[in-house]
Amino acid sequence: MEDQVPAKYKRVLLKLSGETLMGNKNFGISPEVLRHYAQEIKEVLETGVEIAIVIGGGNIYRGLQANETGIEKVQGDYMGMLATVINGMALQSALESIGVFTRLISAIEMKAIAEPYIRRRAIRHLEKGRVVIFSAGTGSPYFTTDSAAALRANEINADVILKGTRVDGIYTADPEKDPDAEMIEQISFTRVISEGLGIMDMTAFTLCQENDLPIVVFNINEPGNLKRILTGEKVGTLVSG
């Protein structure tokens, strides 16, 4: 271990969107982004933090596209879940190529590729220092990967959800569209709901609020940000209380 276990958080769930994996591409997986994520995760793991990951599938397929293609919604949602498994396999490969032990866990059984989700086994993997990648969402249609992240984080008793995005945190308006938007360093669950700030879908957000599970929204593309959060620095926006 390079450092002592940080005092801030001991076990975290990192939520990554599939879109972030595209980098500057229009679809698919950017090798550069994949390597960047793997290195960031490895640096944090070496400090003794236990890390679980939920990754979306929007770079490959989104269930929301089903209406445009004529595919039934439930079928489209399952297709989206399979896309998250592909991303999970890619991230697993990138992590293992730099010496990180991982376990890919799928909510939909596929023995040749991933372990089935068993809560106690997943927690045991974390305790042994393995990075656990949860894929296939919740295993049920009508739920987003945000909901899967909130569910799994609560099930494994994570201390926080770290939501990696392309922006530095939560702003008063969309910073990519409004140059006058101001970043908020800390905000309550109640204010997020009242102001309609789209951090996560409401199912996921409510699950975090009811179980007093804080969320940190931060820029995952900034090198070192992940480690800074876990060693106690103020990075991004903290949603709590």
- Residues 15-42 have a mean pLDDT of 92
Taking residues 170-195, report their average pLDDT. Answer: 87
pLDDT at 143 over 70: yes
198 is in which domain, residue-wise? Answer: 11-240
- Residue 4, domain member (yes or no): no
- Does 3 fall in a domain? no
By percentage, how much of the chain surpasses pLDDT 70?
95
Checking if the pLDDT of 5 tops 50, the result is no
The answer to whether position 108 is within a domain reads yes
For residue range 80-118, what is the model confidence (pLDDT) as tens digits? Answer: 999 999 999 999 999 999 999 999 999 999 999 999 999
Residue 79 lies in a domain: yes
2 located within any domain:
no
Number of domains in the chain: 1
Tens-place pLDDT, residues 185-215: 999 999 888 887 877 888 898 999 999 999 9
CATH number (domain holding residue 181): 3.40.1160.10
Q: Which of 1-10, 88-97, 125-134, 228-237 is the least confident region?
A: 1-10
Give the whole-angstrom CA distance, residue 195 versus residue 119. 35
pLDDT beyond 80 at 66: no
> Which pLDDT belongs to residue 197?
80
Supply the DSSP string of the chain, one letter for each residue: --SPPPSS-SEEEEEE-GGGGGTTSSSS--HHHHHHHHHHHHHHHTTT-EEEEEE--TTT--GGGHHHHT--HHHHHHHHHHHHHHHHHHHHHHHHTTT--EEEEESS--TTT-EEP-HHHHHHHHHTTPEEEEESTTSSTT--HHHHHHHHHHHTT-SEEEEEESSSSEESS-TTT-TT--EESEEEHHHHHHHT--SS-HHHHHHHHHTT--EEEEETTSTTHHHHHHTT---SEEEE-
